Structures are given as structure tokens and as C-alpha cells.
Structure 1
Amino acid sequence: MSDDSVRDAKRRLRAEVRLRRRTRSAGELGSATAGLTEHLIALVRDRVPALVGCYLSGGDEPNTRPFLGWAAANGVDVLVPVSRQDGLLDWVPATEGPEQVGLFGISEMVGEVVPASVFQSVDLLLIPAAAVDSSGMRMGWGRGYFDRALASLEQPPPVFAVVYDEEFVDSVPCESHDRPVDGVITPSATRTF
């Protein structure tokens, strides 16, 4: 498959995912959030990481906010990303404090950016995706922020993508710069590759 064909296939799949996400009922969202939160908590309890990196959900993304609330209440240290103009991510401690609208209209927590060395010590990384396939290949949203964050890690921790059940698929189109994940968390299950 040519690079142009792969990019076209990614665009089509992302459009399908966005449409499905926008048409979920409140009941479906509530049920999905409960399942995701249960599996995220179980993963952290099982692995006992000293420091977790986790995306702050917004819009139609699978909801990580109840998990972040649980983490704060249970003494689990979590960093959340802040997008930069240069295509990289900074990381701030997750708090229940104020948020601001960052690049691309994405909500971000307000806080002091931690040094890059702190991000290097993350023990578990929970990242968004448009889809993940049965081999662990992750398809993001096309801006490459999380791919670059993963590439920057000297000793990458286990990386789990968080998606809805129907976004765990047989295969996703991929390019040479795309990186697989170690596992996927959906409302119904946690799978490790």
C-alpha cells in the first residue's frame, strides 16, 4: 500500500470513529465510562506504578476523568499532557484544580511543567487512540504528539491505549513512524499484547 493510500485509509477510519463517537447516547457513554474506569483502576492496582502518564479526556474521547479523580483520592501520582506549538508534549501533575483551553481546543490542566527527566520516570502510560488492532498497532489522530512522546522515552514504560470496544479492530493502516502499544483498555476488557 502506498503512503498516500495509507493516509487515505487513516482519514476514512478516523472519520468513521468520530461519527460513531458523536452519536453515542448518554446511557452508552455512562456505561462505557464505568467500564473504562473499572479497568483503568484494576490496571493501576495490578501494576502499582509510582508515576502514571494519562491523557485528560475531552470532547468525544473515552472518559479518563473518573479514573483521574480516583487516582488523586488514592495517592496515585499522575501526569497529564500539555500540547506545545512545536508538536511536542509537556507534562503537568494532574490536580483537581483549574483547566484551560489549549491548542486545538483541547482542555488542559493548569500547572507547573515538570522537567523532562520526570516524564522519563513514568511507569505506566495511558494514551488516546482512534483505533488499535489485534497486533497492538495504534492509530492516533494524525498530529503525532503521542508518537513523538513515546519516541522520546529512553526506557519506555508499558503503554496502553484507551478506546471504545468497537475501536479495537483486526487491523489499522500504519506507516513506518507508527508505534505499537503494549495493551489496550476498552469498556469491556483490558488486553495485553
Structure 2
Amino acid sequence: MPADLSNEKRALRAELRERRRIMPSTERDAATVALTENLERLATDLGARSVAAYLSRPEEPDIRPFVHWAHDRGIRVLLPVSREDGLLDWAPYDGGEEALDPYGMPAPTSELLSPMAISEVELILAPAACVDSRGMRMGWGRGYFDKTLGSMEKRPPVYAVLFDSELVDEVPSEVHDQRVDGVVRPSGILTF
């Protein structure tokens, strides 16, 4: 990766982390309610019976209420577990205990499935630092979701979950970066 691009991504990620860090709790709580409604609508409109999601970290848009909602309605939810080789294993959400994976990411403690398990889902919800108006997603720099999405032969709709201010004009991108089909924000759902 060229040094300029690496520095540009690093600076943008730092700015976005700081915005998330200083977000008032009332704004964060309102965003969670609106995101949950929009995620429920997206899953319902797509008729999704299985979803790949993730367990939000405290600074991320909180999708845990959606994960609970989907599980309570019999929608199969797969959650990622980071591996040392840069791939993601998947585990079904069972409403049970959580742990931290080796990289400090929240992960379920249920049965571990292979990276191929994601090929069975009908909707993928991906974390993101930001997404641009072309659907180019920028993650947090580890490349797990880019590798996963790039390796899928047939992939279902992929939506990044963002706060409203994280839909930007342009994201610095490289060949391996993967686009998403849309974004879910507190203000609504946008499909590219």
C-alpha cells in the first residue's frame, strides 16, 4: 500500500474513532433505537431467515438489540470469531455467554463453525468505519471482512452499519477493499 494512502486511511480512522468516542450517550441511545428499527425492516423486507452479523463493541453502532430480535423470531444469526490467519470462523448466536476473541472482539461461546458457514446466510451486516457514496467500505484495518467478502463465490446483500455522519463523499481504497450493497444508519437504509 502506498504510504500516502496508508496515512490517509490512518488519519480518517483516527478522526472517526474520536467522533465515536465523544458522541453523547443520548445521541448514541437514540441511534440504537433507530438502527434497530431499520435493521428489523431490512431483514423483514428481504425475507432473511439467516443473517451474518456481529457483536458491537461499545464505541460501535449498537446492533445487539437487532441480534436479539432476530434470534427471538427464529432467524439464524451467525457471528464472527477472528482467526490468526486473518479469516473469520462463525458461530451461531444462541443468546448465551460472550467472550473476547484473541483480538479483543466480542464473540459468542457457542459451537464454532468454519469460514464457509457464511455462504448459507441471506444477509450480511458488516461493521465499518465509513462508507462512501459508491458503496466502498473502509473497515478498521485488519481486513477480515474484506477477505471474507472477497472470497465468497455467491454473496448475499451486504449492508454496512454506520452512524449518520459516517457516510462520506469518498473513501480511500485499494484493490482488495470490498464494496457493500448498502448502508443502514439511524436516519434510514440506503441501497447502492
TM-score bucket of the superposed structures, by smaller chain: over 0.9
**What is the match of residue 99 of structure 2?**
100
The number of equivalent residue pairs is 192
Contact 2:92–2:110 (8 Å) recurs in 1: yes
Structure 2 residue runs of 5 or longer lacking an equivalent are: none
Distance 2:116 2:105 in 1: 25
Alignment deviations for residues 2-53 of structure 1 (CA, whole Å, 9 cap, x no partner)? 8221111110100000001011111011001011101100000000112110
After the TM superposition, which of the residue ranges 40-49 and 109-118 deviates more from structure 2?
Answer: 109-118
- 1:25 aligns to 2:24 (yes or no): yes
Identity among equivalent positions (%) equals 49
Distance 1:28 1:94 in 2: 28
Contact 1:98–1:110 (8 Å) recurs in 2: yes
- 1:173 aligns to 2:172 (yes or no): yes
Give the TM-score taking structure 2 as reference length: 0.96
Distance 2:162 2:104 in 1: 20
Contact 1:3–1:175 (8 Å) recurs in 2: no
Offset of residue 59 of structure 1: 2.3
**What is the match of residue 68 of structure 1?**
67
Give every structure 1 segment of 4 or more consecutive aligned residues whose post-TM-superposition deviation is greater than 2 Å. 114-118
Alignment deviations for residues 160-184 of structure 1 (CA, whole Å, 9 cap, x no partner)? 0001000001111111111110000
Distance 2:123 2:140 in 1: 21
Distance 1:121 1:69 in 2: 20
Aligned-partner SS, 1:141: coil
**What is the match of residue 38 of structure 2?**
39
**What is the match of residue 77 of structure 1?**
76
Give the TM-score taking structure 1 as reference length: 0.96
Distance 1:74 1:51 in 2: 11
**What is the match of residue 123 of structure 1?**
122
- 1:59 aligns to 2:58 (yes or no): yes
Distance 1:103 1:162 in 2: 23
**What is the match of residue 188 of structure 2?**
189
Distance 1:19 1:26 in 2: 14
Alignment deviations for residues 133-176 of structure 1 (CA, whole Å, 9 cap, x no partner)? 00100001000000011122110111000010000011111111
Amino acid paired to 1:48 = G
Distance 1:139 1:117 in 2: 23
Structure 1 residue runs of 5 or longer lacking an equivalent are: none
